[in-house]
Amino acid sequence: MALLELRNVSKIYHLGGEEIRALDDVSLDIGAGEFVSIIGPSGSGKSTLMHILGCLDTPSHGTVTLDGIQVEKASASELARVRNRKIGFVFQFFNLLPKLNVVQNVELPMIYAGVSGSQRREQALQALEMVELGNRLKNRPSQLSGGQQQRVAIARALVNNPRIIFADEPTGNLDTHTGEVILALFRRLSQEGRTVILVTHNPEIAAVTPRRIEIRNGRIAEKVDARLAGLDRLAASATPAAAVAGA
């Protein structure tokens, strides 16, 4: 069974009596350890898809299974618990809490997981070491560069050791070079065996992943065969052209 299973998922919004199908009958499997990008222009429904995949939202129709949990039936508190334990989020605007320093920001998910103080500090330090920010523990987010802030956000996403990392336009607010550093970090996470899902509108960024899921008008327009890409994952991630050729 795949880590994430979507079956006939629709998300319908009602805006002033008009029905908007942000997602229209989407079925999708994402296996454990995959490095996937979800790509599409703005308004295509990719954000909605990410919200549903990330348990931030529930579908109007269809079923979502995450690591064996029926998401569409879960209560808000259960969803929060799933997000806390199984998912790490990285956002375009970093979304760090401005009043907390770097370590406290990274500790935040563990507070809600009920981890004890000393263990929290230890795990946060480990996660920050991993993103090479072990020397900026007491800084406020506003005292860090964009790339550093995003690395803090990644540390925060990793700290509860989740199975899935969601990144929503993680390089959108960064310059090209810093963006590459961040993408390299995701690639490393993927190589370490985590499931990484990258949401972007930029095909160049999507090109780093072996598998791409393209969304148009709420439907999956095209996808790269996971098994094909998986055969040559390292090569594919190294040369974007190969991934395209593999399609």
Partner 1 sequence: MIILNSIVIGLKEIWAHKVRSLLTMMGIILGVTSLVGMAAIIKGMENGMKEAMIAMGGVDKVLTRDQQVPAWQDHLADQAPGITLVDVHALKRSAPLIRLVSPEMSLDDVTISRGDKRSDYSECVGVWPSVLEMNLHTLEHGRFFNDLDEEQARPVVVIGTGIRDELFGKPSEVGREIVPLGETIQIDGQPFVIVGMFQEYIGEQEAKERARAKLEAAQGTSKAAAGPKRQRGWGRRGGWAFWRKNYTIYMPLNTAWVRFRSAGRGTGIPDPRLTDMDIKVADFGRMEDAIQQARNVMLLTHQGIEDFTFETQENQIENINKQIRNARMSGGFIAGISLLVGGIGIMNIMLASINERVREIGICKAVGATGPNIFLQILIESAVIAVVGGLMGLVVSELFVELIGVLTPSQNTPMITREAEAVAVGFSALVGVIAGILPAIKAARFSPIEALRYE
Question: Which residues make up the interface to partner 1 (CB under 8 A)?
Answer: 51, 56-57, 76-77, 80-81, 83-85, 89, 91, 95-99, 108-109, 111-114, 116-117, 156, 160
Q: How far is the CB of 157 from partner 1 (least distance, A)?
A: 8
Q: Which of 94, 186 has the CB closer to partner 1?
A: 94
List Cα–Cα distances, 50 to 16, 39, 173, 184, 238, in angstroms: 25, 11, 19, 21, 25
- Give kind and range of the element (H or E) at residue 229: helix 226-231
Q: What is the DSSP string of 68-132?
A: TEEGGG--HHHHHHHHHHHEEEE-TT----TTS-HHHHHHHHHHHHT--HHHHHHHHHHHHHHTT
Q: Which of 26, 96 has the CB closer to partner 1?
A: 96
Q: How far is the CB of 87 from partner 1 (least distance, A)?
A: 9
Token pair belonging to 10: 């629709």
CA 99/CA 152 separation, integer angstroms: 14
Q: Give the distance from CA 16 to its chain's centroid.
A: 31
Q: How far is the CB of 245 from partner 1 (least distance, A)?
A: 37
Q: How far is the CB of 69 from partner 1 (least distance, A)?
A: 14
Per the CB < 8 A criterion, the answer to whether 146 and 178 are in contact is yes
Q: How far is the CB of 175 from partner 1 (least distance, A)?
A: 22
Pick from 115, 189, 191: nearest CA to 158: 189
Q: Which of 135, 161 has the CB closer to partner 1?
A: 161
Q: How far is the CB of 112 from partner 1 (least distance, A)?
A: 4
Q: How far is the CB of 246 from partner 1 (least distance, A)?
A: 33
Q: Which of 64, 243 has the CB closer to partner 1?
A: 64
Q: Which of 35, 91 has the CB closer to partner 1?
A: 91
Q: Which of 40, 88 has the CB closer to partner 1?
A: 88
Q: Which residue has the tokens 């065996």?
A: 193
Q: Which of 170, 210 has the CB closer to partner 1?
A: 170
44-77 burial: b if 16+ Cβ within 10 Å, else e: bbbbbbbbbbbbbbbbbebebbbbeeebbebeee
